């Protein structure tokens, strides 16, 4: 009798499992959305190089330097150069200061013909551009005019590059 009850339980369990597996399963779905956002802030960096004029012998000396600009893609910017640190300098007549005294006048330009002064007044004598997410190299054209009679020595100046965006 024990075997018979055991068989009945097994049969009933198998029958229930077969009925459950053969019955269609009804499923439902629901959808929603996930909002994803990001903010890209405009940013720029700027680095200036050295303009090495070399030896000056009262003849005109032309030389170039570089301003490297890195701005976020689509960011508009302007680059200005101040008058430098030389006493009495302006953005149109900059002054290298001599190690033994004296000055040596020079100028910085935005074009290879050296006709467009590079100053610091936005919209007048600065260089404008638009960032593309890559480094953009801008050439600075320098000139020491002929006919100057400075004292012997090493002459230096530091010009501040201002990037406005």
Domain assignment of residue 29, yes or no: no
Domain assignment of residue 9, yes or no: no
Which CATH number fits the domain that encloses residue 116?
A: 2.60.40.1090
Closest C-alpha to 56, from 157, 154, 140:
154
Domain assignment of residue 57, yes or no: yes
Is the model's pLDDT at 65 over the cut of 60? yes
Closest C-alpha to 65, from 47, 50, 80:
50
| Interval 136-150: pLDDT, tens | 999 999 999 999 999
- What CA–CA distance (Å, rounded) separates 165 from 160? 16
DSSP letter for each residue of 102-119? -EEEEEEESSTTS-SB--
The pLDDT-based confidence of 60 (bands split at 50, 70, 90) is very high
Domain assignment of residue 28, yes or no: no
Domain assignment of residue 70, yes or no: yes
The pLDDT-based confidence of 10 (bands split at 50, 70, 90) is low
pLDDT at position 5? 61
Domain assignment of residue 24, yes or no: no
pLDDT at position 79? 98
Domain assignment of residue 25, yes or no: no
Residues 6+ apart with CB under 8 A from 139: 64, 65, 66, 112
> How many domains does the chain contain in total?
1
Domain assignment of residue 108, yes or no: yes
Is the model's pLDDT at 4 over the cut of 70? no
Residue for token pair 């229930």 = 16
0.95 cut: is pTM over it? Answer: no
Residue 81 sits in which domain range?
A: 44-164
């Amino acid at each position: 009798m024990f075997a018979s009850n055991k068989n009945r339980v097994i049969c009933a369990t198998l029958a229930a499992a077969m009925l459950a597996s053969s019955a269609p399963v009804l499923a439902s779905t629901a959808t929603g959305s996930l909002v994803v956002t990001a903010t890209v802030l405009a940013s720029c960096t700027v680095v200036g190089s050295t303009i090495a004029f070399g030896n000056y012998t009262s003849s005109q000396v032309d030389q170039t330097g570089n301003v490297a600009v890195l701005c976020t893609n689509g960011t508009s910017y302007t680059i200005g150069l101040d008058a430098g640190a030389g006493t009495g300098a302006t953005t149109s007549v900059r002054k290298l200061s001599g190690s033994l005294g004296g000055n040596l006048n020079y100028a910085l330009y935005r074009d290879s013909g050296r006709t467009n002064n590079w100053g610091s007044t936005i919209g007048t004598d600065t260089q404008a551009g638009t960032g593309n997410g890559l480094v953009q190299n801008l050439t600075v054209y320098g000139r020491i005019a002929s006919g100057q009679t400075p004292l012997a020595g090493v002459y230096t100046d530091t010009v501040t590059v201002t990037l406005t965006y």
